[in-house]
Amino acid sequence: MDLSLDRAMAERLERARELGRNEVRPVGLEADREGRPIPVDHPYFKRCLERGEGRTRWSGPDGKAEGGARRERSTVDALLLAEEMAYWDRGVGVANPGPGLPEANVLSAGTPEQKLRFLGPFLEPDRPRWACFAMTEPGAGSDAAAIATRARRDGNTWVLDGSKCFIGNASRADWILVQATVDPERGRAGQRAFFVESGTPGLSNFKIEKKSGLKAYESTSFSLEECRVPADNLLGGEPRAKGNREGFKAAMRTFNAGRPVIAANAVGIGRALLDESLTFAREHGLLGKTRVRDRIEAMRRRLRAARLLCLQAGHLADQKQPNIVEASLSKAMAAAVGQEAATFGMELLGTVGARGDHLIEKLYRDVKAMDIVEGTGQIQRMIVARTLLGLPR
Ligand SMILES: Cc1cc2nc3c(=O)[nH]c(=O)nc-3n(C[C@H](O)[C@H](O)[C@H](O)COP(=O)(O)OP(=O)(O)OC[C@H]3O[C@@H](n4cnc5c(N)ncnc54)[C@H](O)[C@@H]3O)c2cc1C
């Protein structure tokens, strides 16, 4: 695994660092202080578009749009950028406009017409646009096979009924890729994904959840009541999804691809915690204490190990090699290390941490979600164990 950076990537990281320092960290702190997601009309989002962000990786109907070049960026490069962004503010990274989590799903399973309809507006967006992926429900989180949102065919439409919760960017999204079941008796095999456009009658009751950290982006619950979408809104179209587990597998592929990204985010937050802890320890004369020095060394060692695991998962993806074990290991380990770094930072702060206005205290609240999203630590460890033992996942 070659970890050397070419010049273009080194420059990209340097630009990301500068942007993080000047824009991302301040807007993240502002959202945290005000306790609300960055508003849709915040000038930060306008500047994102001006910098060329918020666009799809799709290369357009004729294959010539710039997106193709973005797609060719290696997974390892994407992970390094994800780590850097999270170093400055992971919540702002998720708040950034763009087709987000479901884009990979649409690129791999969407029909040409669906790519044009749903990714087309992200080629040259005229305004900040978002999309999101809705799997989790009040009664189905880790056990994604248990989702109860129903999809029923009625002539040329699908009718959706159910509710979703904790969905990133849902109330501002142009469309939501909703995971639903056509037959709960069939478990995973009954699952399909549907594009539900903003403003569709029956898509309602958006409620931004209260979150302890990552306040810069909204996590939102909503309901679907007799929500009717055209038959063409079934991801991949009818023939591809019929009679197989493609709907569920596509969702699992999205999560598998996302796990090293969350691991990279956790490493980024962990690095920020280490830097802030060092600064605090230096300013308060704590570096002379052996116990403090030992823990700083342990944090650096474990963060570095987590980072290598994460990059290995990305490297395997770039080589088109299976990486399920590495993706899960990296997420399980990085989220745990990030949380350890946060606990250490809070211990160093003492009463300063209890006041709730130090950056370490914010990062302590932010990093917890890295253990929850896209499969909790327990679930990652179960995936690894089952894969190693050759049991069905
Ligand atoms: C900030 C944030 C953003 C999110 N964004 C999205 C999003 O954009 N889209 C989306 O669809 N979802 C999103 N989620 C939801 C997230 O994916 C779920 O919270 C996660 O899957 C866990 O589900 P749960 O909260 O229902 O916990 P549960 O599934 O109820 O788990 C509770 C606890 O039990 C453990 N547990 C559960 N099953 C087992 C088992 N079989 N063996 C051992 N332990 C087990 C879990 O590890 C956990 O510790 C988000 C959540 C958060 C916190």
The model's pLDDT over 29-80, given as tens digits with 9 standing for 90+, comes to 999 999 999 999 999 999 999 999 999 999 999 988 888 777 768 999 999 9
- pLDDT tens across 193-209, in order? 999 999 999 999 999 99
Name the least confident of 17-31, 127-141, 229-243, 302-316: 229-243
Name the least confident of 21-30, 183-192, 238-247, 337-346: 238-247
| Residue (of 157, 176, 52, 61) closest to 115 by Cα position | 61
Distance CA 53, CA 122 (A): 10
CATH number for 17? 1.10.540
List the domain range (segments joined by +) for residue 169: 130-246
Distance CA 321, CA 312 (A): 11
Q: What's the pLDDT band for 246 if we cut at 50, 70, 90?
A: low
- What pLDDT shows up at residue 216? 98
The 3-state secondary structure of the chain reads: CCCCCCHHHHHHHHHHHHHHHHHHHHHHHHHHHHCCCCCCCCHHHHHHHHCCCCCCCCCCCCCCCCHHHHHCCCHHHHHHHHHHHHHHHHHHHHHCCECCCCHHHHHHHCCHHHHHHHHHHHCCCCCCCEEEEECCECCECCCHHHCCCEEEEECCEEEEEEEEEEEECHHHEEEEEEEEECCHHHHHHHEEEEEEECCCCCEEEEEECCCCCCCCCCEEEEEEEEEEEEHHHECCHHHHHCCCCHHHHHHHHHHHHHHHHHHHHHHHHHHHHHHHHHHHHHHCCCCCCHHHHHHHHHHHHHHHHHHHHHHHHHHHHHCCCCCHHHHHHHHHHHHHHHHHHHHHHHHHHCHHHHCCCCHHHHHHHHHHHHHCCCCCHHHHHHHHHHHHHCCCC
Inside any domain, residue 111: no
CATH number for 311? 1.20.140.10
- Give the angle subtended at the CA of 30 by the CAs of 24 and 36, to the nearest 5°: 110
User: What percent of the chain shows pLDDT beyond 90?
Assistant: 84
Specify the ligand 1 atom closest to the Cα of 219: 3
Q: What's the pLDDT band for 362 if we cut at 50, 70, 90?
A: very high
Tokens of 22: 């000047």
CB-CB contact of 148 with 181 (8 Å):
yes
Q: Are residues 285 and 324 in the same domain?
A: yes
Name the least confident of 87-91, 93-97, 147-151, 352-356: 352-356
Distance CA 273, CA 339 (A): 10
Q: Is the CB of 141 under 6 A from ligand 1?
A: yes
Tokens of 12: 């990209």
CA 384 to chain centre: 21
Distance CA 86, CA 213 (A): 13
Q: Is the CB of 262 under 6 A from ligand 1?
A: no
Inside any domain, residue 88: yes
Q: Are residues 237 and 262 in the same domain?
A: no
- What pLDDT shows up at residue 245? 59
Q: Is the CB of 168 under 6 A from ligand 1?
A: yes
- What pLDDT shows up at residue 240? 53
Inside any domain, residue 136: yes
Asked if pLDDT for residue 135 goes beyond 70, the answer is yes
Inside any domain, residue 29: yes
Please indicate whether residue 49 or residue 253 has the higher confidence score (pLDDT). 49
- End-of-domain residue from the set 88, 122, 156: 122
Please indicate whether residue 172 or residue 68 has the higher confidence score (pLDDT). 172
Mean pLDDT confidence for 15-27? 98
Q: Is the CB of 136 under 6 A from ligand 1?
A: yes
Q: What's the pLDDT band for 239 if we cut at 50, 70, 90?
A: low
CB-CB contact of 326 with 266 (8 Å):
no
Phi, psi of 214 (to 5 degrees): 45, 50
Q: Are residues 333 and 349 in the same domain?
A: yes
- What pLDDT shows up at residue 354? 87
Asked if pLDDT for residue 132 goes beyond 80, the answer is yes
Q: Are residues 171 and 256 in the same domain?
A: no
Mean pLDDT confidence for 292-309? 96
Q: Are residues 74 and 22 in the same domain?
A: yes
| Residue (of 208, 209, 211, 206) closest to 222 by Cα position | 206
Mutate to test the pocket of ligand 1, among 103, 136, 218, 331 (most ligand atoms within 8 A of CB): 136
Separation of CA 75 and ligand 1 centre (Å):
25
- What pLDDT shows up at residue 68? 74
CB-CB contact of 175 with 115 (8 Å):
no
Specify the ligand 1 atom closest to the Cα of 169: 8
Q: Is the CB of 140 under 6 A from ligand 1?
A: no
Q: Considering just the CA atoms, what is the radius of gyration of the chain in Å?
A: 21
Q: Are residues 291 and 201 in the same domain?
A: no
- What pLDDT shows up at residue 254? 78
Asked if pLDDT for residue 244 goes beyond 90, the answer is no
- End-of-domain residue from the set 246, 277, 304: 246
Q: Are residues 256 and 373 in the same domain?
A: yes
Inside any domain, residue 148: yes
Give the range with max mean pLDDT: 81-85, 248-252, 287-291.
Answer: 81-85
pLDDT, averaged across the chain = 94
Asked if pLDDT for residue 242 goes beyond 80, the answer is no
Torsion angle of the four alpha carbons 371, 377, 378, 382, in this order, in degrees rounded to the nearest 10? 150
Phi, psi of 245 (to 5 degrees): -100, 25
Q: What's the pLDDT band for 359 if we cut at 50, 70, 90?
A: very high
Asked if pLDDT for residue 234 goes beyond 90, the answer is yes
- End-of-domain residue from the set 246, 277, 297: 246
CATH number for 201? 2.40.110.10
Mutate to test the pocket of ligand 1, among 373, 382, 384 (most ligand atoms within 8 A of CB): 373
Q: Are residues 177 and 276 in the same domain?
A: no
Asked if pLDDT for residue 330 goes beyond 90, the answer is yes
Is 374 considered catalytic here? Answer: yes
Mean pLDDT confidence for 86-114? 95
Mutate to test the pocket of ligand 1, among 372, 374, 383 (most ligand atoms within 8 A of CB): 372
Q: Is the CB of 133 under 6 A from ligand 1?
A: yes
Asked if pLDDT for residue 165 goes beyond 70, the answer is yes
pTM for the model stands at 0.95
Separation of CA 16 and ligand 1 centre (Å):
30
Report which residue type is found at 256: N
Inside any domain, residue 108: no
The angle that helices 324-349 and 359-367 make with each other, rounded to 10 degrees, is: 150
Q: Name the closest-CA residue to atom 7, ligand 1.
A: 167
Q: How many domains does the chain have?
A: 3
Q: Is the CB of 142 under 6 A from ligand 1?
A: yes
Q: Are residues 372 and 263 in the same domain?
A: yes
Q: Are residues 365 and 286 in the same domain?
A: yes
Distance CA 123, CA 60 (A): 7
CA 119 to chain centre: 18
Please indicate whether residue 262 or residue 72 has the higher confidence score (pLDDT). 262
Q: Are residues 25 and 136 in the same domain?
A: no
Inside any domain, residue 259: yes
- What pLDDT shows up at residue 123? 96
Tokens of 260: 């090293």
Inside any domain, residue 141: yes
Q: Are residues 354 and 228 in the same domain?
A: no
- What pLDDT shows up at residue 338? 98
Asked if pLDDT for residue 241 goes beyond 60, the answer is no
Q: Is the CB of 96 under 6 A from ligand 1?
A: no
| Residue (of 184, 195, 28) closest to 114 by Cα position | 195
